[in-house]
């Protein structure tokens, strides 16, 4: 199942991020032909960069690879509901479909908070599919934050 495997890949990136001491979020960008164009996990601590979220890194890499600023026809898989910054970047990049895992009532910007794609200033909204591998995505985050508290 192509569907599941992309989310598995995003989860793998999230686990790698956890291994680096980063918040475990992973993202995979899929080209219109179904191939993986780029993949990334959070690197905010390593890069000393508050914008180094998985989605931003995957979008940057894909755009650099293609030499273009937009990714029309491309799909993004993320383990967690994107924050407002990433949702805006997804809109700017003209991503076709967004698939995400766990909902993020605290910091999400798609179904919560700013709800970027429903804002009148949003010029492009992707099709959104949520709840993919939700349990695994949420469990990773929970384990990470519990370990940090402990």
Asked whether position 40 contacts Zn ion by CB under 5 A, the answer is no
**Which lies closer to Zn ion via its Cβ, residue 37 or residue 100?**
100
How far is Cα 29 from Cα 33, in angstroms, rounded to an integer? 12
Q: Counting contacts by CB under 5 A, is residue 24 touching Zn ion? A: no
Backbone phi and psi for residue 10, each to the nearest 5 degrees, phi listed first: -65, -40
53 annotated to bind ligand: yes
Helix residue ranges per DSSP H, 26-120: 44-47, 54-66, 84-92
55 catalytic, yes or no? Answer: yes
**123 appears as a binding residue in the annotation:** no
Judged by CB under 5 A, which of 44, 53, 78, 108 binds Zn ion? 53
Which member of 83, 90, 93, 116 binds Zn ion (CB under 5 A)? 83
Residue in 88, 100, 84, 99 with CA at minimum distance from that of residue 125: 88
Binding residues for Zn ion (CB under 5 A): 53, 83, 85-86
Annotated binding site: which residue ranges? 53, 83, 86
Active-site residue set:
55
């Amino acid at each position: 199942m192509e569907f599941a495997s992309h989310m598995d890949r995003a989860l793998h990136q999230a686990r790698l991020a956890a291994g680096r001491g980063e918040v475990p979020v992973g993202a995979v960008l899929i080209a219109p032909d179904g191939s993986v164009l780029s993949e990334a996990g959070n690197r905010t601590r390593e890069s000393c960069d508050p914008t180094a979220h998985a989605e931003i890194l995957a979008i940057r890499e894909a755009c650099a690879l293609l030499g273009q600023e937009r990714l029309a026809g491309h799909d993004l898989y993320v383990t967690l509901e994107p924050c407002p910054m990433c949702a805006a970047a997804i809109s700017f990049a003209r991503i076709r479909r967004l698939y995400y895992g766990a909902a993020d009532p605290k910091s999400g910007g798609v179904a919560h908070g700013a709800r970027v794609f429903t804002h009148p200033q949003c010029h492009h909204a992707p099709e959104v599919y949520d709840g993919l591998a939700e349990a695994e995505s949420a469990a990773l985050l929970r384990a990470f934050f519990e370990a940090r508290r402990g």
